[in-house]
Chain A
Amino acid sequence: MPIVSLTNVSKAYPSRNPGDGEIVAVDDVTLEIEKGDVFGIIGYSGAGKSTLVRLINALEPATAGSILVDGVDITSLKESELRRIRGGIGMIFQQFNLFSSRSVKANIAYPLTLAGWKRAEIEARVTELLSFVGLSDKAKAYPEQLSGGQKQRVGIARALATGPAILLADEATSALDPQTTHEVLDLLKRVNKEQGVTIVVITHEMDVIQTIATKVAVMERGRVIEQGDVFDVFSAPQNPASQRFVGTVVKGIPSPAELAVLRERHQGRIVTFSFRDGDSSQAQVFLDLANAGLDFELVFGGINDIRGRAFGHLTLAIRGDGVAIDRALAGIGERVEVTEIAGEEAR
């Protein structure tokens, strides 16, 4: 059974101008998050992903559809019951949202006090969490004395304090520099691996999805336009918006503009070979080209790794006899995807 399951969920707000009708932030979304997943939701700002994640812990009520969290339909619960559900779902934020009036220790203790823990238990739990996030020496510090990465680690410790089964991360790394982003993502990976916490990651950065997620949903204008295994979506995105996102981290088949530049710089026919996990190896492709007596150079592309599975697109400029090239490509084409965009051949 999935730990979170959304069925035909929508969220509409009344418009500010009464005549304009409603603003639909989340539009008929259906998705399932399995226990232990790191589920990424990616989209541009305004795509509805932040609203979607707030439906899961009922910070926003859905206007249609059903939302099951651990088998309980939260759309029918009263506010007091929702508070209890929220206590079992951790959340971290882009701006960290630490209590500036409380020390690091008191920030982490806050949800425990809410949950009615005893003082001694709180003390022990806070110590344990501080050591888990590597901030044991900062217990007495105040948020303004911490760096961005440290603040987010406190945020994570606070969100995990009561031992929730689910952690919602709303653009948790968007305010951090690349180095710190990776430290925080590594920590989230550990949270997922060592504590078995299911994580929902909201982001507009494909790099974050590539680093941490196992599943991904792409959102556009309130709808989920594509979802699946991260490897599948990255190696073969179906939707134009997904392709744009994938394109930010994966050098795919060159665009017309890129192709024009390549044609200017390199002689020969520009051909892209797309590799996916399990396909024929690159070595075999190069060997086939060499055996056909062809001269070639790598001009564009790269190979990516997603949790041990490789894929990528390599674009070569191939020179030699036209017939020999055609024959070699036909042979290779039986094993890997070959794309050659017709165009004027450079001299």
Chain B
Amino acid sequence: MDRLIELGPEFWQAALETLYMTSFALVLGGVLGLVIGIILYVTRPGGLVQNAFVSTIANLAVNFFRPIPFVIFMAVAQPFARAVVGVGIGTTAGAFIIGLAAAFAIGRIVEQHLVSVSPGVIEAARSMGAGPWRILFTVAIPESLGPLILGYTFIVVALIDMTAMAGLIGGGGLGAFAQIYGFRQFEPVVMWAAIVLIVVFVHFVQLLGTKLARRIMRR
């Protein structure tokens, strides 16, 4: 316990790093993933602007990057991170790479929820003379917004999980904190403090997501 009090500044610093990485990755991965998901959805056979070529390329890309274990992905994406955010290690590089990795998973989640919008509702909009992009933004996305929010909530939890690994490239965060000061120094209290805070984060995010989705779905 004394050790934890001693490590107070490092602890709060790590918490901030986790928050920073998670939100950075959520914004980046969320937007990229939304774009990927929309591309997958609209170009699929029978889709709003079906296009076999684009659909195949997009699916290949997602299926290629998504299965790469994150630990390896961090190493692979390092040169790219250096090119885009200027550095290959550290918190921002970690956040960038997490966002990148999450984008492919988010893309699939977005696609799945969009696909589950009733084809009849899409047809109704077509019968009123709506074009494909208008249908996407005024029908398909609003109709699946509740489940989409739940999907994003699920992803935030996965992002927090990934931030723990970002410690490997000097990203810091609560995961690294628990590893370095808790696990390796035989300080279970320190380790558990980090775990509890992560659980609190996850719980808070889940609560927020569920509440928002409930409100949108009115149930």
Residues of A within 8 A of B (CB): 57, 59, 80, 83-87, 89-91, 93, 95, 97-102, 110-111, 114-115, 142, 144, 158, 162, 168
Within 8 A of A (CB), among B118-140: 118, 120-121, 123-131, 134, 138-139
State whether A57 and B127 are in contact (beta carbons under 8 Å apart), knowing that A95-B120, A99-B142, A99-B143 are contacts in the complex: yes
Q: Are the CB atoms of A87 and B139 closer together than 8 Å?
A: no
- Interface of B toward A, CB cutoff 8 Å: 118, 120-121, 123-131, 134, 138-139, 142-143, 145, 216, 218
Assembled-state Cα–Cα distance A152/B134 (Å): 24
Q: Which of B121, B124, B143, B218 has a CB less than 8 Å from the CB of A91? A: B124
CB distance from B173 to the nearest CB of A (A): 37
Q: Are A100 and B143 in contact (CB under 8 A)?
A: yes
- CB-CB under 8 A from B134, the residues of chain A are 114
CB of A99 within 8 A of CB of B129, answer no
**Would A142 and B121 count as touching, CB distance under 8 A?**
no
Which residues of B have CB within 8 Å of A115? 129
CB distance from A119 to the nearest CB of B (A): 16
Q: Is the interface of A mostly helix, strand, loop or mixed?
A: mixed
Give, as a whole number of angstroms, the nearest-CB distance from A49 to chain B.
Answer: 16
CA distance A280 to B95 in the complex (A): 91
- Complex Cα–Cα for A93 and B127 (A): 11
What are the 9 closest A-B residue pairs judged by CB atoms, nearest first?
A87-B129, A97-B124, A91-B127, A97-B120, A86-B129, A111-B128, A101-B142, A83-B129, A97-B121
- Tell me the bound Cα distance from A90 to B127 in angstroms: 7
**A99–B139 CB distance below 8 A:** yes
Q: How far apart are the CA atoms of A229 and B129 in the complex, in Å? A: 32
Bound Cα distance from A91 to B125, whole angstroms: 10
Can you name the residue of chain A whose Cβ is closest to the Cβ of B131?
A83
Contact between B139 and A97 (Cβ–Cβ < 8 Å)? no
Chain A nearest CB from B8 CB (Å) reads: 47
Q: With a 10 A CB-CB cut-off, give which of A84, A101, A110, A114 has the most chain B CB atoms.
A: A101
B129 touches A111 (CB 8 A): yes
Give Cα distance in the complex from A335 to B11, angstroms: 104
> Is there an interface contact between A86 and B143, defined as CB atoms closer than 8 Å?
no
Given contacts A93-B120, A95-B120, A97-B118, contact A114 B130 (CB under 8 A): yes
Are A142 and B129 in contact, with the CB atoms below 8 A?
no
Known: A86-B129, A111-B129. A97 touches B142 (CB 8 A): no
